[in-house]
Every structure is written in structure tokens, then in C-alpha cells.
Amino acid sequence: MYVIGTGPGDPRHLTLFARNVLASAEVVFGYGPYLDRIASLLGSAEVRPSRMTREVERVTRAVETALSGRVTAIVSGGDPGIYAMAGLVFEVCKQRKITTVAAGTEAAAADALPVAVIPGVPALSAGAARLGAPLMHDFAAISLSDLLTPWETIEKRIEAAAEADFVIVLYNPKSKRRSWQLHAACTLIARHRSPETPVGIVANAMRENETVTLTSLQELPDAPVDMQTTVFIGNSGSFQLDGFLVTPRGYGNKYDLGE
């Protein structure tokens, strides 16, 4: 059972390792549009696309297929280990009392399901690359989706990250049905950080319809943001430079950058 990250979307941003595994898989599961983007890499695999809201069903079927003895891959956009499918594979196996084992160590447990997570370039890396260098110092990744997490928990994390001067990366900042959370997050962060704090917004990083926007914390609530967007809020030292967003790696100037 392989859990594979396809990176930002363009097949050129998959790793060679992920490409090789996809080419050798017998059955590949995933969200339809993600599978479409990597169709050229799928070899002769049976392709099993599913809809966005069907994650549990998708993972359950993938696990069952893998247990039947076929080489099975389930793909995630970005990195499968960050807010993605890897966890659900283990949660489903736990619930169904299926023993898992790290792939490559099968000999130790003959009847266990071998699982390998193959990392990909996460959305936070693809977005950061387009912005320049916002993640040069400590950062916190926070999802604004309150479908599975109480808003009070999310709120507490936003405030803690803002107060401790983390660069903040917002996943799932807004959807058609969730529109007030981004505004609420900005209000919380503004208690601890200047309204001029630089902010970078990247939609569809490294694929079709990519947009990169630089703005400020005070302008963020009205900026163009949707589910395809990752938002980067600078720390107190972050600055804009020639259209890039940069967080310096040091506080103070312990290193000499030359004249």
C-alpha cells in the first residue's frame, strides 16, 4: 500500500521515486482532478477516481484492494503527510483492526499490511518558493477548516502563533461555505502584529491559473482567497523585496552580508 504525494500538480514536480511507484502500481485511487493531472504517469494501472468528499470511502477501498494482494497506490496532492491521506490510512486500519507494518520490513509480520508513505513537495513549499523565502524562520501551519476541529481550538492556535511571532501558513483559508474564518483569524493576529505585516497569497502554485499576490495583514480579509489558496503571514521581521516576501533567518545581525 503506497500513499503518494503528487506535489503541486505539474507532473514535473513529482519525485522520480513517486513516478516509479505510480508506474508500477496495479490500482491507483485518488481524487479525480489530481489523477487527471498525472494521467501520463500511471502506466497500465487501473484508475479509481473518486469525489472530494469521499475520503473515508476512498481509503477504505484502497486498503481492501491492497489486502487482496494487488499493488495499490492512493495519491494526495502536495505531500500525503500534511493534512492529507496518510493519516486516514492508519486511522481506517486501526478502526478495522488491520495490522500495518513499514514496507520493506514485511518479513517481521507476514500477515500485516505493508504501508509506505512517499513524500511530495507540500503546498507550503510550492507556495513559499513562488513568494521567495517566507519560511526561513519558525513557522506554524494552521488549517482554518472547522469541519473536523472546533473553532475554539483553531482560534487558540492562531492567537498562540501570532503572539509568539511565528510565520503563519494558513491552509483551507476559505471555501464557498466557510467565509468568515479568514476575517476572524486576521482580527486575532492583528492583536499581536502590525497591520502592515507583509502577507503572501498563492493560488494554484506551480500549476495552471497560478496567481501570486503580495498584500498586508490589514488588506488580507478582502484579498482573493479560496480553497486552492495558501496564505503566508510574515513574522515581525519579514519584508517585501522586489515583489518577493522574505523572512530573515537571523534576529539582529550576527552575520556579515558584505558591503
Which of the residues 122 through 181 are near a copy of itself (CB under 8 A)?
Answer: 122, 125-126, 128-130, 132-143, 147-150, 153-154, 156-157, 159-161, 163-166
Residue 222 CB, nearest distance to a copy of itself (Å)? 24
Residue 216 CB, nearest distance to a copy of itself (Å)? 19
Residue 237 CB, nearest distance to a copy of itself (Å)? 10
Q: Map residue 140 onto helix, strand or coil.
A: strand
Sites for a copy of itself among residues 195-254 (CB under 8 A):
212, 241-244, 246-252, 254
Angle at 203 between CA 199 and CA 209, to 5 degrees: 140
Helix (H) or strand (E) holding 95: helix 85-95
Q: Which of 1, 9, 19, 181 binds a copy of itself (CB under 8 A)?
A: 19
Helix (H) or strand (E) holding 244: strand 244-246
Q: Which is nearer to a copy of itself, 69 or 243 (CB)?
A: 243
Q: Round to whole Å and give the CA distance between 159 and 148.
A: 19
DSSP assignment, residue 106?
G
Q: CA torsion, points 146, 173, 84, 17, in degrees to nearest 10?
A: -170
Q: Which is nearer to a copy of itself, 52 or 222 (CB)?
A: 52
Residue 220 CB, nearest distance to a copy of itself (Å)? 19
Q: Is 49 in the site for a copy of itself (CB under 8 A)?
A: no
41's CB contacts (< 8 A; 6+ apart) are 11, 14, 19, 22, 23
Sites for a copy of itself among residues 64-123 (CB under 8 A):
79-84, 86-96, 99-102, 112, 115, 117-122
Q: Is 257 in the site for a copy of itself (CB under 8 A)?
A: yes
Residue of 257, 233, 12 lying closest to 128 (CA atoms)? 233
Residue 56 CB, nearest distance to a copy of itself (Å)? 6
Residue 61 CB, nearest distance to a copy of itself (Å)? 11
Q: Is 59 within 8 Å of 76 (Cβ atoms)?
A: no
